[in-house]
Amino acid sequence: MKLVTRLINKFKVNNSILLEEPSAPLMSTSIPGPKAKELLCTQSTFSQDFRTIKFIVDLSKSIGNYAVDVDGNIILDTYCHIASLPLGYNHPDMIYNIQSGEYQKYLAQRQSADLPDIHWPRMVRDILLPIAPKNLNEVIVNCGCGSNSNEEAYKIAFSYYMKNKRGGAQPSEKEIELAMNNQGEQLTILSFASAFHGRNLASQSTTHSKPINKIGQPRLDWPKAPFPEIKHPYHLNESHNIREEKRCLAEVEKVFKAAKNPIAGVIIEPILAEGGDKSASPNFYIGVQEIAHKYGALFIVDEVQTGGGPTGRFWGHEHWGGRADPDIVTFAKKLQVSGLFYKQHLRPGRAYALYNSTRGDPVRLLNLRKIREVMDNDNLLRQTERTGMLLKNSLSALSQKYPISNIRGYGTFLAYDFISPEWANAFVKEMLELGVAVGTCGTHSIRVRPSLIFKPKHAEIYLDRAEFAINQILSKGFKLAKV
C-alpha cells in the first residue's frame, strides 16, 4: 500500500490527476479490492446489473496506458473499454480540447437530426469525409452503438434491394398495405459463423459468437456461412489455408444458390473479433465481395472493432489491397462515434426512410476531430504497426517455450490461443493480479486491444508479465500440453 501511495503522491496534482504515465503497473490489492467490493455490494441490491464489471476505474487518476482502479491499483490496460479507448486515459490534447469551451453549447442541448446547428454540416464534411473509405462519400452518424450501425446498414441493403426489384418505381399500394401489416417480402442478410455484429433483435441474427448473445430471443431466419479455420502463421500453413478459404467461398456461393429468401447483403468483419480474432487472407474477403456482387447483394464491412487505427491502417479492410470495394462500412468504438459510410447511390429515394431523432451529436465529432489530429501529429498508425510487430515477434518466441499458439492479427490488434479455456481464464486472472488488464475472445484466445498510444516500452512490460503469469500458472499445476 505504501509504494502505491508514494507513487500516486509523486504524480498527483490536487489529489487527483497523475501528471504523467507511471513507469510500470503497481498493485496493492487483489481485484476486486476492499473499496471495489464495498461499492459493488452496495449496488447489488438495486439498480443496474453490475455482474459484468471487470474492475472499477478511477477516471480522474488514470493516465495514458494506465488505469488506476478504485483501490489505487495501477493497471496497464490492454483491454481498454472493449477496444474503445483511442488515445489512452486523459490525453492532454483531449483535455485541452474539451476545456476550449467549444463543447458547451452541444452539451447544454442535444440537437435533433432535423434541427441541426449551423456548424453541423461543416463538421460532417471536415471531420467525417476525410476518413471516408474509398468511394463511400455518404455518412450516417450517431447510431447509438455498433449494433445499430450494422442494423442501419441492413436497412440500406433492404431498401436498395426493393428499389431495384421495383425497377426504381415507388412502392405499390399493395406493398404498402402488406408492410403496414408486418407482411411482405422476407429479405435476409448473410453472415459468418463466429461473427459478432451486435445484440439488437435483428443484429443478433447475424451474431454467432456465443449462445449468451442469442438464447431466449426470437431471431430472423437468416442464413450463415462457415468462416475459414486458418492456421497461423499463414504462410507456414499455406496449402491448408488456401484449401480452407476455397471451401468456405464455395459454401458462400452455395448459400446464395440455395437461399429460400433473397439475400440483400453480406456482412463480415476484417477480423472476427468477439468470435476469436479469426481472419483470412485478402483473397478470401475479395472472394466474398465478388460473390455478393455477382448475386446483387451489398458487401458490408463491419469495422466496429477494427476501424480507427488499431490494425496499423485507419480501416481494417485497407489490408485487402486495391481490389477492396465495400458498399457500406460501419464503425463505432475507437472513433468514439457510431455510424456508417456508404456509396451515395444507395441513399434511399425518400427522406425519413433512414432516420432517428438522435442522429448528429457534435460532442462526439469534436472528440473524433482531436483524435484524428493526434493520430496524424504523433504518427500513431506507424507506431501501432511497429509496436504490433514487436509484440507479434516476441509472442512467437514465447510460443516456443509455452502453451500459446496461433499468434495472429495486424498492428496491435492481435490475439493468441492457449490450449484450453481454463488456461486462458487463468491467464487473464493472473495478468490482472500482475497489473495488466487483458481480455479473452472466442473460447480460449487472448485479445490484445491497447489504445493507439501503446508503445514498444509498454509491449515489453506486457511480455514480461505474460511470461511471469504463465510460469505462475504452471507452478499451480497447469500442464504445458493438453492431456
Of the pair 171, 282, the CB lying nearest a copy of itself is at: 171
- Cβ of residue 450: shortest distance to a copy of itself, in angstroms? 14
**d(C-alpha 26, C-alpha 12), whole Å:** 15
Question: Which one of residues 11, 28, 58, 468 is an interface residue with a copy of itself (CB under 8 A)?
Answer: 58
One residue of 196, 222, 454, 462 binding a copy of itself per CB under 8 A: 222
Stretch that binds a copy of itself, among 95-103, 275-283, 293-301, 372-380 (CB under 8 A): 95-103
What string marks each residue from 333 to 372 as x (binds a copy of itself by CB under 8 A) or -?
x--x-x-----x--xx-xxxxxxxxx-x--x---x-----
258: left (phi over 0), alpha (psi -120 to 50) or beta: alpha
Based on CB atoms, which residue is closest to a copy of itself, 328 or 404? Answer: 328
Nearer to a copy of itself, 9 or 181 (CB): 181
Strand partners, 138: 342
d(CA 301, CA 410): 17
Nearer to a copy of itself, 14 or 475 (CB): 14
- Looking at 188-268, list the stretches that DSSP marks H as alpha helix, in order from N- to C-terminal side: 238-258
Angle at 76 between CA 474 and CA 330, to 5 degrees: 105
Q: Does 480 bind a copy of itself (CB under 8 A)?
A: no
Selected from 30, 90, 405, 420, the binder of a copy of itself by CB under 8 A is: 90
Q: How far is Cα 473 from Cα 418, in angstroms, rounded to an integer?
A: 12
Q: Tell which one of 15, 99, 377, 400 touches a copy of itself (CB under 8 A).
A: 99
Q: 98 with 87: CB under 8 angstroms?
A: no
The verdict on 49 binding a copy of itself (CB under 8 A) reads yes
Let me know: does 300 contact 153? Beta carbons within 8 Å. yes
Please give the residues from 177 up to 196 whose contact with a copy of itself meets the rule CB under 8 A: 179-188
- With binding defined as CB under 8 A, does residue 39 bind a copy of itself? yes
Nearer to a copy of itself, 240 or 343 (CB): 343
- Applying CB under 8 A, among 31, 67, 300, 459 the residue interacting with a copy of itself is 67
Residues in the chain: 483
To a copy of itself, the closest distance from the beta carbon of 459 in angstroms equals: 21
Contact flag: residue 104 with a copy of itself (CB under 8 A): yes
219 and 204 Cβ atoms separated by less than 8 Å: yes
Smaller CB separation from a copy of itself, 194 or 472: 194
Q: Is 48 in the site for a copy of itself (CB under 8 A)?
A: yes
Q: Which long-range contacts (CB under 8 A, 24 or more apart) does 110-113 make?
A: 110/358, 110/361, 111/360, 111/361, 111/362, 112/357, 112/358, 112/359, 112/360, 113/355, 113/356, 113/357, 113/358, 113/359, 113/360
85: cell is 479507448
Candidate list 11, 24, 28, 60; residue touching a copy of itself; CB under 8 A = 60
The CA distance from 56 to 53, in Å, is 7
Backbone angles phi, psi at 265, to 5 degrees: -160, 155
Q: Which is nearer to a copy of itself, 141 or 380 (CB)?
A: 141
Least distance to a copy of itself, CB of residue 455, Å: 19
Return d(Cα 125, Cα 119) in angstroms, integer: 10
Q: Which of 29, 73, 78, 205 binds a copy of itself (CB under 8 A)?
A: 205
CB of 87 to a copy of itself, least distance (A): 8
CA dihedral (102, 104, 107, 112) positive or negative: negative
Indicate the residue among 53 and 463 with the shorter CB distance to a copy of itself. Answer: 53
Give how many residues touch a copy of itself by CB under 8 A. 126
The answer to whether residues 348 and 159 touch, using CB atoms and an 8 Å cutoff, is yes
**CB of 475 vs a copy of itself, minimal distance in Å:** 29
Binding mask 382-421 for a copy of itself (x = CB under 8 A): ----------------------------------------
* Partners of 340 in beta bridges: 140, 330
- Please identify, among the stretches 43-51, 293-301, 386-394, 420-428, the one whose residues bind a copy of itself according to the rule CB under 8 A: 43-51
Residue ranges in 108-167 that form contacts with a copy of itself under rule CB under 8 A: 108-118, 120-121, 124-125, 128-129, 137-141, 143-148, 151, 154-155, 158-159, 161-163
Distances (CA, A) of 472 to 77, 402, 427, 433: 20, 12, 9, 11
Cell of 455: 508503445
